[in-house]
A and B are shown apart, each in its own frame.
Chain A
Amino acid sequence: MTVLFDLVLCALMLLAALAAIGGRGLFRATVFFVAYGITVALAWVRLGAIDVALAEAAIGAGLTGLLLLGAVARLRRAGAPEFPVRAGLVPALAAAGVAGATGWVALRVPGAGGLWTEAGEALPLSGVENPVTAVLLNFRAWDTLLESIVLLAALLAVWALAREEEWEAPVGPPLHARPGGVLEGMARLLPPVGIVVGVFLVWAGASQPGGAFQGGTVLAAVGLIAALAGLVALPRPDSGSWRTALAAGPAVFLLVGASGLALGGLLLFPPDWAKAMILTVEVFLTLSIAATLALLVLGPPQPRRMP
């Protein structure tokens, strides 16, 4: 039965991917991309990688869909011609060749088995019980620290797209909805639930799947729903409080990492304090990830008068 399930899931995943790149029309491609994100999240569940599935569900099926649909609409309003989203034969063959070769070699060459044993032995010293969190926030904290800053760099790149005279404007398009309408009702209903779910994912991340990234993404998503209904005012890129929110997570992470120097080594989390240190980092990181992702989706500042 497992084989049947796997076959159907893989077929769907491939179909969604091919339809997203092989068909005509940006809108259809985008919808297939959302469907693809859902199937990939399910594949991660099937593989037991719940942490990744959570991230994929929130990013792949959630935020990216919103971002791409907005882009499609913007292109249309700008009068851009509907260019064919048709991957050329050569890149398609090249991609298939690379994927095929990688798969073939990976199946043929015996695997070295990863680092499960080492991670299991070190887990009691890491301060948390979820091995994924131990890897992300302790064993390989330097990677995660850099990754959290990568998000910020991406936001800077998005903001760089604004024109000089637009820097005074709030980010994103001017969002509004009918007062008391369905959209506004939804925007009042979902965020409280989403905040509970997001906070739960962060809090639970120490012992079970979840964590700052997953929780932060959910918080960003429900925040965006509120923003889409015009319930929250969008910030300007030079807003001090928002910049503090963007910087807080990486800053706390950096300071905690540097404080390790006093405790015996860079990015060192002594076992007795590790849990407190990691949770502190995660709380601030969640805030920053949520703020950064939400601002990334909203885009650069835009003038309030539409052309």
Chain B
Amino acid sequence: MSAIALPDVLTIVLTGLGLLFFLAGTVGLLRFPDTFSRLHALTKADNVGLGLVALGVALQAETWGQLARIALVWVLALVAAGLVAQLVARAALVDRRLRG
């Protein structure tokens, strides 16, 4: 049984927390009553989750290039999720058939 290095502990903690957010997002997606609240649960939860996962993986990175890519992934995901949530919500608002 060897001691676990500090970055590894942090990685486990951060990615573990990220997992919880993913789980929360999914529970929201499954349990919330209508389309708009489901949208809301999802974009918030999985972006924080993804951010925590990204931080956790970043601690394992070996080069600056890898760090930069991890950051880019997260920023892209944030932007995409925000824009998409906005667009889909708007579409559902305009056309109620999309809400089911």
Is B90 touching A182 in the complex (CB atoms < 8 A)?
A: yes
B86 within 8 A of A: yes
A183 to B90, CA, bound (A): 11
The listed residue (B72, B76, B83) touching A185 by CB distance below 8 A is: B83
Interface membership of chain A positions 176-192, coded 1 if the CB is closer than 8 angstroms to chain B and 0 otherwise: 00000011011001100
**Smallest CB separation, A46 vs chain B (Å):** 16
Chain A, Cβ-Cβ closest to B83: A186
Q: Which applies to chain B's interface (DSSP): helix, strand, loop or mixed?
A: helix
A-B contact count (CB 8 A): 13
Contact B76 A182 (CB under 8 A): no
CB distance from A75 to the nearest CB of B (A): 16
For residue B9, CB closer than 8 A to chain A, the reply is no
- Interface positions, chain A 153-197, Cβ under 8 Å from B, are 182-183, 185-186, 189-190, 193
In whole Å, how far is A127's beta carbon from the nearest beta carbon of chain B? 24
Which residue of chain B is the closest to A187 with respect to CB atoms?
B83
Q: Nearest CB to that of B84 among chain A residues?
A: A186
Q: How many whole Å from A237's CB to the nearest CB in chain B?
A: 30
Q: How far is the CB of A244 from chain B (nearest CB, A)?
A: 32
Asked whether B23 is an interface residue with its Cβ less than 8 Å from the other chain, the reply is no
Query: Counting chain B CB atoms within 10 Å of each CB, which of A182, A183, A185, A190 scores highest?
Result: A182
| Interface status of B87 (Cβ within 8 A of chain A) | yes
Q: Which residue of B lies closest to A194 (CB)?
A: B76
Chain A: which residue is nearest B79 at the CB level? A189
Judging by beta carbons under 8 Å apart, are B87 and A182 in contact?
yes
Bound together, the chains give a CA A190 to CA B79 distance in angstroms of: 9
Residues 198-235 of A at the B interface (beta carbon under 8 Å): none
Residues of A within 8 A of B79 (CB): 186, 189-190
- State in angstroms the CA–CA spacing of A189 and B76 once bound together: 10
Residue pair A183, B76 in contact (C-beta under 8 Å): no
Compute how far the CA of A189 lies from the CA of B83 in the bound complex, rounded to whole angstroms. 11
Q: CB-CB contacts of B72-85 with A at 8 A, as 1s and 0s? A: 10001001000100
A183 CA to B72 CA in the complex, in Å? 21
Chain A residues, CB < 8 A from B86: 182
Q: Is the CB of B76 within 8 A of A193?
A: yes
In angstroms, Cα B90 to Cα A185, docked, is 15
Report the minimal beta-carbon distance from B11 to chain A, rounded to whole angstroms: 15
B83 cross-chain contacts in A, Cβ below 8 A: 182-183, 185-186
A93 CB, nearest partner CB in chain B, Å: 33
Could you tell me the distance between the alpha carbons of A190 and B76 in the complex, rounded to whole angstroms?
A: 9
Distance in Å: Cβ of A186 to nearest Cβ of chain B: 5
**In the complex, what's the smallest C-beta–C-beta distance from A57 to chain B, in angstroms?**
12
Nearest Cβ in chain A — how far from B75, in angstroms?
A: 9
Q: How would residues 51 to 91 of chain B score, 1 for a CB under 8 Å from any chain A CB and 0 otherwise?
A: 00000000000000000000010001001000100110010
- A189 vs B72: C-alpha distance when bound (angstroms): 13
How near does chain B come to A5, taking the closest CB pair, in angstroms? 14
Interface residues of B in 19-72 (CB under 8 A from A): 72
Nearest CB of A to B79, in Å: 7
Chain B residues with Cβ below 8 Å from A185 are 83
With A182-B86, A182-B87, A186-B79 given, name 10 new contacts (CB 8 A).
Answer: A182-B83, A182-B90, A183-B83, A183-B87, A185-B83, A186-B83, A189-B79, A190-B79, A193-B72, A193-B76
Q: List 13 A-B contacts (CB under 8 A).
A: A182-B83, A182-B86, A182-B87, A182-B90, A183-B83, A183-B87, A185-B83, A186-B79, A186-B83, A189-B79, A190-B79, A193-B72, A193-B76
A-B interface, 9 closest residue pairs, ranked by CB to CB distance from nearest: A186-B83, A182-B86, A182-B87, A182-B83, A183-B87, A189-B79, A193-B76, A182-B90, A185-B83
